[in-house]
Amino acid sequence: MCMNTQQLPNRSRRLPWLAGTLLTFLTTSLFFSPTQPVANADQAGLGSYTTNLPAGAKVPDDFNGNPVSPKRTANVTGAMPTNDWWSSLGWQRFPGNPYSENMTALPLIVKAKSAGLGVTFPTIPAISTGSPNYIGEFHYNASEDLNLGLVGLNSPDAKVDGYSDWTVTAYWNGGGTLRATFGHGMPFVYLTKSGGDALISAAAPPSVWTGAGTNALGITVNGHHYGIFAPTGATWSQSGNNFQSNLAGKDYYSVAVLPDNSVATFNFFKARAYAFVTNTTASWSYDQATASLNTTFSATTVAKEGSNTNTVLGLYRHHAINSSTALTNYSYPTARGQIRLRDGNSFTTSMRFNGVLPALPDAGDYNRTTLNNHLNDVAFEASHFGGADTYYTGKALLRLANLIPIAEQLGNTNARNSLITAVRNRLQEWFTASANDTNGQFYYNSNWGTVIGYPASFGSDTELNDHHFHYGYYIYAAAILAQYDPNWALDSNWGSMVKLLINDAANISTANDPRFPRLRTFDIYEGHSWASGHAGFGAGNNHESSSEAMMFNTAVLLWGANTGNTQLRDLGIFMYTHETHAIEQYWFNVDNAVFPAGFTANNNHPAVGMVWGDGGSYATWFSANPEMIHGINFLPFHGGSLYLGRNPAYVNKNYSQMRNNIGGAERYWLDIIWQFQAFGDAATAATKFDTVPFTPEEGETKAHTYHWIRNLKQLGSIDTSITANTPTYAVFNKNGVRTYVAWNPTGSPLSVTFSNGVVLNSIPARSMARSTGTTPPPTATPVNPNPTATPVNPTATPVNPTATPVQPTATPVAGCSAVSLDANAYYRVTARHSGKALDVDAVSTADGANVHQWSYVGGLNQQWRFEGVGSNYFKVTARHSGKALDVAGGVTATGNGVNIHQWPYGNTSNQQWCLRDVGNGYYAIIARHSGKALDVADASTADGGNVHQWEYVGATNQQWQLTKIDAGGGGNTLHVIDGAAQNVAGTLSLSAGAGANSDSIPSAGGANYDGTPTNALVYTISGLTRSYNSQATQFKLFVDSNTAVGNGVQARISYDWTGDGSYDRTETYNYFPTDPVAGFEQYSQSSGLKSSSGAWANLSNGRVRIEIWNAIGNGSASVRTSATNAQGQQSTITLPFN
C-alpha cells in the first residue's frame, strides 16, 4: 500500500559520490539469486515460473470447489478472458446454473437461460440508505422484460461463441441453435438462429403501438419500449405474451430498447436494425507534445439487408464529457448515469494527461532529523515481510520501495541500500520457481491463460480475483529498482518476469503475448477495472479499491518509462487516464450526475466504496467503517496518486461527509485519511500528524506519510491547467505560485517544456528537477485544454424541453373537468412519462420544501389529499406535513418555469388546482391563478426531476394519474412482525412493531430453490375485508446476508379471498441477490414478478401470507422485523385494496 515511487534528488543537490556508491553496491549484488530454480520451470530471463501446479495449490473452480474450464465453443480459442462484465457466461460459478448470471451490458442487462436470452432495461434504482445511516447502496435491479429465443429451444447450457473489446456473443444449442451478440453502450441485441421460428416472450402483457402485422414492431413491456425487427417480408404473429416469426426464411432478427415510444424514434432505430455489429475495437495514442490521450472506439458492422452499415453507440458519461463527437438527443438512464447515443460507428475521446511522478520532490517543510529517524525505523527493522501471500507481500514491497527515494533525498545511503536489498531479494525469490517453494512462486495455468502466485489470497487462485491489485505492487517495486539500476530490468535479467505479470492483467493484445487475453482486468468501454474473475453475482461484476487499480496503472506506466518501453508506458497512460475519469464519475460522483438522488439524500454518500455492474455500494468487502469505505479508494499513496487531488473542493466534501457518517473524527487508517485530506487541507493534516498518536496502516510508514503531507503543505494543490511534454511530471499551485516538477527516466539529460512556456533544462539522467514561479498571466493558455466546449452537465440545454412537447396534442384540452374525488382519501399522483410520483423532497415538513418526482415507495410525502374549494378546484395537501401544493412567488407568479413547493394553505389561487381529463385515466393539473400545468422539468425521467408550472401543450410530462390509496386511516400496509422461524409462523400486522428485530432465514445449502419456497419463513394475517383497486402488490423487505457470498432471498405473496384456507392467488417474485456486506438491503417488487396464478378478487374476511426463503447460496440471511415508524427500514407489504 505504500507509495511506489522513486526519485533521485534534483540536480542542485545531486552528490557526485552517491552515484558511484550506488553503482558499486548494485553490481556486487544484482545477480544474487536466493533460491535454486526447479528443473522443469519455464525460464524468463534470470527468473522462472512453473507450468506444473505446486503441491496443494488450487486453480479456478466453482462455488463448490470443483475445478472448472472455460465454457466456450470451438470458435473461441486461446487465452480465455476473465474479470469482465460478461464473464459469468464463460465461467460456471454455480453448479446449478450452466447459463450465466446477470450481465450488465448497459443500457440493457441480459441473462442467458435455457430458452434464450432474458433482456431488461431497469430505469428505477432500488435504493437502501442503510442503517446506520452511512451504510447504503443503489442497484438498477434486473427484472426481465423479454426472452429472446426460438420455438423449441431448450439448451443444456450457454457458451461464449465470440467476443471483442466490448461485445460478446452467446451460443445455445438444443432444439435449434441461437447466437446473440450484445455489448456495452449498445441498445441492440443481434440474433441469428437455426431450427424453429424466432420466438420473443414478454414477461408481462405487451402493448403493440406500431407495426402490428408487419416485420417490425414497437412494443411496451413493464413500461419499457422495444423495437423488434425481422427481415423484410416477414411478419410477427402475436399470441398472448408471445411473438413468433419464421423470418421469411432468413436466420436473423434484432431487438432494441428504445428511449421512448414515438414512431419517429422507432423509425430511427429501424433504419439501423439490420447493421449487425460483428466487432468492436478501441485504439489509443498519446500525444506527448500536448499531453493528450486520444482514444477511438469503433464498431464493425455487416448489413443483413439494404445498404446501411451505420449503427448507434451509447457514450457513457466519462466518454461524453471528453468528446466533441456529435450526439443525438436520445439517452438512457443507467447505473453509470445517462448513456447518450451517437449515430455512427465510431467516436473519439480526448483526455488531458496530467502526469505522474515516481515520488514527491524534496520540497516539504519537514524536520529532516525527524524524517530520517522515521526512515531508519523501517530500513533497519528486524523483519520487513509478514504475510507470505501475493497481496501482503506486495504491500510490504511497496511499503519499502516508497522509502528508497526519501532515503536518497536525505542522503541516507545505508538506509537506501538496505531498502533496495530487501526489495530486490524478495522480488527475486518470487521471480524464481523452486521445488517445494514456500517463499513464493508463480504458476502459469494454460487452461485459463493466467499466472497465479502461490501462496494466493482473496481468491486470486480459485476466482482469479484482484490480479491487478496483487501484481501491481510487484511491478511498482520493480519500477523503482529499474530507475536505480536499468540493468536489473533488462528482459535477459529480471524484466521478463515483470512483463509476465503485466501481461497477465493488462496484455495489450494476444499478438503481443498469446499466453494471455487482452486487458484482462480493464474494461475498455467502462473505463475502469473489474475485480472478480467470474462475475458470478446477481448485480454483475464489482470493483472495490479503485485506487489499487490506479496503482497498477501507474506501475505499468513507470515500468515502461523507466525501461524505455514506450508501448507499455502508453498503455499505462491509457488505463490511468480513463480510469481517473471513471473514478471521478462512478466512484466519486464529482458532478452529481451519476448517483440517484435518493442515494445522495442529505449528502451522506458523496462516494461509494464499491462499484457494481448495476449500481454502487457505500460499503466494502471487509468493513462497514466509513474510514475504510472511503480509504479503500485512497490507498496506497504513491506518485501516481495525484489524480485524487484534481478537485480540492471535492476532497474536502468527501472528507467532511466521512466525518459526518462517523459522527466525529477518524478512528482508523489515520495516515491514509490524512494523506488524502492533505490534497484539500494539508496544514490540518500536518497538525494531526504532529499531535495525534497513530499506528501506520500495514502498507504505510510514518516516514512516507510525514514526507507526503509536508510536501503537499508546501507545494499546494494539483494544477491541472498546465501540462508538460513528458509523462512523468506534475504541477502544483499554492496561492498563485506554481511549482513545476519533472522526472527524467532516461539515461541522458532531458529538457521538459510546460504548456505555459516554463522549461526545466537539462535534467540529469534518472533525476528529478523542480522550479517555482508565479502564475503566468491569463494569455498563457494550455496547449491542449480539456474539451470544455462540451459542458460537464450538458442538461443546461434540455434533451426534451417542455416548451416543445414530448408527445404534443394538436388541440390542448380546455377548461376544468368535473372530477369527483374522495376528500377523506389520499392519492398517489403519478407522472405519465416517467411512472414516478409527486413527492416532497426528503420528507421535509418545512415551509418551502421542494416538490419533485420520485420512485413511489409508499411514503406519506408521496400521498396527497384533494379537497374541493368550489368551481371544480381543489386544495391539494401532502399527507406527511398537511401543507398545500403551492406555486412559489404567490398569485403574481404566472410565468413558465415557476417552481412548485409546499406551503401552509392560505386560500390563495396559487394554491388551488383543477383537473383536466386528457383521457386514458390521466389529468392535467392546472393552477387557478396562472392557467398553467404541473410539469416535470425537461421531461426528466430521473428521481429528483423537478416540478414547476408550464403552459399546457399536451406533453406526457404534464399528465398525471391519481391512484386512491386509502381513506386516511391506514389499513393496507402490513408490517412484518418478528417471531417466525423454520416451521414456526410469524405475523403480519396492520400496525408497526414495537421495536426492530430480525428473523433468521435458513441457508439454501448450496441448492437452487428459485421459485420453490423451501425452509421458508411464513408470516400471515387474517380477517381482512377490502375492495380490489386494480393496482399491484408492493412490498419492501429489508434483508441481510452479512458476509455470505452468493445468497439470493426470494418472496412469495399469497391471497386467500374468503379465508377458507385455500390460497386463490399467488405471486412469486424474482430472488434478490444480496451482497456480502453487513447491513440491510431493500428487496422490493421492483425485482420483478417471476410468476403468478389466480385472478384478482375482493377480500372478504380474507387472509394474506408472505413466504421468505433463500433461493440460492450457502449462507443464512435475516429479515428485519417489528421496526417502529421512528426506526424506519420497516419490512412491509402494501395491498392493492381499498
1052 near 1069, Cβ under 8 Å?
Answer: yes
Give helix 390-401 / helix 467-484 axis angle, nearest 10°: 30
Residue 1045 cell numbers, joined: 457470498
List the beta strands (DSSP E) in 580-631: 610-612, 615-618
d(CA 621, CA 588): 18
Known catalytic membership, residue 951: no
d(CA 924, CA 913): 10
Q: In 10 A of CB 201, how many CB atoms?
A: 18
User: End-to-end CA distance of the chain, in Å?
Assistant: 59
528 near 584, Cβ under 8 Å?
Answer: no
- 466 torsion bin: left (phi>0), alpha (psi -120 to 50), beta (else): left
CA separation, residue 866 to residues 821, 869, 925 (Å) = 7, 9, 12
Known catalytic membership, residue 867: no
Residue count (the chain): 1138
Q: In one letter, which amino acid is 759?
A: V
d(CA 185, CA 313): 6
Q: Which residue in 466, 841, 935, 938 is the catalytic one? A: 466
d(CA 1030, CA 1136): 7
d(CA 356, CA 641): 8
d(CA 269, CA 775): 51
Q: Which residue in 161, 548, 839, 1107 is the catalytic one? A: 548
**Rg of the chain on CA atoms, in Å:** 31
Question: Which residues, other chains included, contact 925 with Cβ-Cβ below 8 Å and sequence gap of 6+?
Answer: 829, 876, 913, 914, 915, 933, 934, 960
Give the DSSP letter of residue 448. Answer: T
118 near 147, Cβ under 8 Å?
Answer: yes
- Give the H or E element holding residue 740: strand 737-744
d(CA 776, CA 646): 20
Q: What share of the chain is helix, strand, coil (3-state, %, to 5)?
A: 20, 30, 45
Backbone phi, psi, residue 850, to 5°:
-70, 150
CB-count burial class (<10 Å; 0-12, 13-18, 19+) for 160: buried
Residue 695 cell numbers, joined: 499506528
d(CA 369, CA 1043): 46
Q: Which residue in 62, 523, 544, 935 is the catalytic one? A: 544
d(CA 87, CA 531): 11
d(CA 460, CA 508): 21
CA separation, residue 1063 to residues 593, 1057, 1094, 1133, 1134 (Å) = 46, 7, 9, 17, 18
User: Torsion over CA of 507, 513, 516 and 518, rounded to 10 degrees?
Assistant: 40
Closest CA to 579 of 905, 797, 316: 316
- Residue 214, classed as helix, strand or coil, is coil
Q: Around 261, how many Cα atoms within 13 Å sit in the side-chain half-sphere?
A: 20
d(CA 1071, CA 1087): 7
d(CA 430, CA 371): 31
1078 near 977, Cβ under 8 Å?
Answer: no
d(CA 812, CA 801): 18
Backbone phi, psi, residue 925, to 5°:
-110, 115
Known catalytic membership, residue 544: yes
- Which residues are tagged catalytic? 466, 544, 548
